[in-house]
Amino acid sequence: MLNDQNFQEEIQKRNLVLVDFFATWCEPCSVLAPILEKAVESFRDKIDLFKINVDDFPLISQKYNVERIPFVVLFKKGKPIQGFVGLKPEQDIKEWLAVHWYEDYAKENNFKLNPNKSTVQRIIKGLFNNEKKYGQRHCPCKRVTGDPEQDKKNICPCASHKKEIEENGQCFCNLFKK
């Protein structure tokens, strides 16, 4: 459980952390909480979700200038990188988190996310459409056969993306570039 004393230490231990600043009396906060939980569940063991009750932890809330709630902030290794205030649909939150996760993945592997934001958004929409349809984020540029063993290699980032980047300067679907 996070508190005023351990907040910074705890979020620095993790790569990506989504923090939900809320209050128990806030109706939009109550609506957003399960949406965030479901969105983060989609990134199993890649993004952690923490909740901060602004009434119980005023120092943290003050430090991050929480003036309206719900207030959601994505932290990378303890530093805030982006956030939003208010309600958002689950799909929008998932796509927003995906951009950051794939960007982080690219950096860790010494390549980049495509700099064209609309291309990235289109590909990520395709990934989530495939997740809805097939249960996994299969690369939009790969055919889903229905054979789980064969399709497993096409879950983004797919088994061939590094070789494609090395040989062509980008992966086939154009999400990652050299």
Residue 178 is predicted with a pLDDT of: 93
Neighbouring CB atoms inside 10 A of 128's CB total 17
Indicate the fold that domain 7-87 takes in CATH.
Answer: Glutaredoxin (3.40.30)
Peptide bond into 157 cis (omega under 30): yes
Q: Tell me the per-residue pLDDT of 12-43, one tens digit each, with 9 for 90 and over.
A: 988 899 999 999 999 999 999 999 999 999 88
Neighbouring CB atoms inside 10 A of 155's CB total 17
Residue 67 is predicted with a pLDDT of: 93
Residue 15 is predicted with a pLDDT of: 87
**CA quadruple 11, 12, 16, 21: dihedral sign:** positive
| Cα distance between residue 114 and residue 178, in whole Å | 9
* Given 26, 139, 158, 171, the catalytic residue: 26
Do 9 and 17 form a contact (C-beta atoms < 8 A)? no
Cα angle for residues 108, 114, 116 (degrees, 5° grid): 145
* Residues in the chain, pLDDT under 50: none
Structure tokens at 155: 């879950």
Under 8 Å CB-to-CB from 163, ≥6 apart: which residues?
Answer: none
Residue 1 is predicted with a pLDDT of: 65
The verdict on whether 156 is a catalytic residue reads no
Beta strand ranges found along the chain (DSSP E) = 16-22, 48-53, 71-76, 79-85, 112-113, 176-177
* Given 29, 139, 158, 173, the catalytic residue: 29
CATH architecture of 109-177: Alpha-Beta Complex (3.90)
The verdict on whether 158 is a catalytic residue reads no
pTM of the model: 0.86
Domain ranges of the chain: 7-87, 109-177
- Percent of the chain with pLDDT strictly greater than 70: 99
